Amino acid sequence: MTETINAIIISFNDYDSLVETINSIKDQVDLVTIVDNGSEEYHINKIKNNLSNYCKVIELEHNKGIGAALNIGVLYSIENSFDWVLTLDQDSISSCNLVSNLLDLYRSYPDAGMTCPSIDGNIGIKISRNGNSRIKTAITSGNLIKTNIFLNIGLYNEEYFIDNVDFEFCLRLINHGYTIHMSNSAQLRHSLGTVVNVKIFLFQYKYISHNPNRRYYIFRNNFYISKQYFKMEPILIIKKNILLIKYFIEILIFDKHKFENIKMINFAVIDFMNKVIGKNPHEI
C-alpha cells in the first residue's frame, strides 16, 4: 500500500509567499493543509477563494501560535490516516526532489524520528556538508515525520507559542531514543528573518532583527529549554545561551528599538522566574 504524506503549512498574513511555497511542494505530496493562524480578512479570503479547491484550509479565529497551529495540522493528519507529515513555513521553497530524498534518508535509519533538508538562508547561511549528516536540532520548516511519532512522544509544546517550538521537539525526539538526519540532497530556500546590514569601519555586518514581542519569546523560551534540557545536552544548551548573549549585544549596539526590546527581555526573565515559583506570567 502506498504511504501518504500531508504537507502542513502555517500561514499568517502573507498570501503571495504562501502560493510560492505551495507551488513548490504540491506535486510531491498527497495533500497540502493550510492552517491559517488568524490572518487579516483580506489574506484569509484570498486563501479560501483561490486555494481551497486543491488545499485543505483550516481557519483559526486568532493567532494561537506555531505550536498550536502545527498540532491542529498533525491531528488532522492522524484522524485522516496519513502516514507522514511534512511541516513547512509559508516562506519556504522546496527543491523538486525534496520529499523523495527525505523519504530515502528516513528509510536508511531504523531509529530515525525526523529527516530535514539543507537550508539556504537569506543571510548567507548555507548548511551544506558532504553526504548526509546526523544532527541534534532543526528548524520546523522542511521536517518529514511519521505521524505515529507524535503518538509516541506527544505533540508540539504549545506553551512556547513561537520560538524554540522546533528546538524543544527535536530534543524530545532524541530523549525518546530517535535520531534526526539532514539530507544534503534535499534543499529548502527559507527566509530566516528580517536582515539588517550595518557598516562597521570597512566591514559589513548582518544580523537578524525581530520586533520586541518576538524577542520576548526568543529569550523566555530559551530559558525554558535551558532549564528542561541542560542535564541532557549541556554543551548544546551552553552554545545556545552564548548565541543569546550575542543577540543581546546586537540589540544594545544596532537595534533602533533597543529600549522596547530590553523591556520585553526583562519581562521574559521575570516570567521565567515566576514560572519556576508558580506565579502567572506577564500578558503580551
Among 31, 186, 4, 195, smallest CA distance to 93 is for: 186
Among 161, 59, 178, 71, smallest CA distance to 116 is for: 178
End-to-end CA distance of the chain: 48
Query: Helix or strand or coil: residue 40?
Result: coil
Q: Contact 90/20 with Cβ under 8 angstroms?
A: no
Confidence at residue 110, expressed as pLDDT on a 0 to 100 scale: 93
Q: Contact 132/35 with Cβ under 8 angstroms?
A: no
Confidence at residue 268, expressed as pLDDT on a 0 to 100 scale: 96
Distance CA 192, CA 120 (A): 9
| Identity at 134, one-letter amino acid code | R
Confidence at residue 130, expressed as pLDDT on a 0 to 100 scale: 47
Confidence at residue 123, expressed as pLDDT on a 0 to 100 scale: 45
Domain boundaries along the sequence of the chain: 5-190, 194-277
Confidence at residue 283, expressed as pLDDT on a 0 to 100 scale: 63
pTM confidence score: 0.91
Confidence at residue 284, expressed as pLDDT on a 0 to 100 scale: 63
Predicted confidence pLDDT, tens digits, the chain (284 residues): 589 999 999 999 999 999 999 999 999 999 999 999 999 999 999 999 999 999 999 999 999 999 999 999 999 999 999 999 999 999 999 999 999 999 999 999 999 999 999 988 644 444 444 457 899 999 999 999 999 999 999 999 999 999 999 999 999 999 999 999 999 899 999 877 778 888 877 788 888 888 999 999 999 999 999 999 999 999 999 999 999 999 999 999 988 899 999 999 999 999 999 988 877 766 66
DSSP summary character for residue 126: B
Distance CA 188, CA 120 (A): 6
Query: Helix or strand or coil: residue 15?
Result: helix
CB 204: neighbour CB atoms within 10 A? Answer: 8
Q: Contact 178/186 with Cβ under 8 angstroms?
A: no
Distance CA 268, CA 270 (A): 5
DSSP summary character for residue 60: E
Confidence at residue 131, expressed as pLDDT on a 0 to 100 scale: 57
Show the cell assigned to 76. 488532522
Site of grid cell 500578558: 283
CB 209: neighbour CB atoms within 10 A? Answer: 17
The top-level CATH class assigned to 5-190 is alpha beta
Q: Contact 30/6 with Cβ under 8 angstroms?
A: yes
CA 271 to mean position of chain CA atoms: 23
